[in-house]
Amino acid sequence: MSQLDKMNKLFKEYNKLKEKLHYLLDVEWDEKDIEGHFGTPMFYGAHRRLRNLEKKTKNIHKDMFYLLLKLDGNQEGFSQSSSIGAEDIMYDFKAKYGEKK
């Protein structure tokens, strides 16, 4: 599998997780009044799903970041708050390596 295929696969998975996270926070959270069910299995289950989605999203973002750095030859550390976003990583990757296999 080429580096481009790996990056595309990671970005596709990242977008799926972002959509799930968006749905959980912006739709399901309000419709089911998650915070209003404090102390119930619904409340704790929603928070567990939120934590898991955030963790998976961060890990994929990190993998994308290090794949780009590996090809660039940089030795920078990852920080979700200060590193470039996944969309910027994908844009930069395609600009630099999109035509090469």
Those residues whose C-beta lies under 8 Å from the C-beta of residue 88, and which sit 6 or more positions away, are none
pLDDT of residue 98: 79
pLDDT of residue 93: 93
Structure tokens at 59: 């890990």
Tell the residue number behind the tokens 């996944």, with chain if given: 86
Angstrom distance (rounded) from CA 62 to CA 17? 14
pLDDT of residue 19: 98
pLDDT of residue 41: 97
pLDDT of residue 48: 98
For the chain, the domain total comes to 1
Angstrom distance (rounded) from CA 67 to CA 56? 16
Angstrom distance (rounded) from CA 96 to CA 88? 12
CB 4 within 8 A of CB 97: yes
- How far does the chain reach from its first CA to its final CA, in angstroms? 10
pLDDT of residue 74: 82
**Which residues of the chain fall below pLDDT 50?**
101
DSSP class of residue 2 equals -
The range of the structural domain enclosing residue 35 comes to: 3-97
pLDDT of residue 100: 52
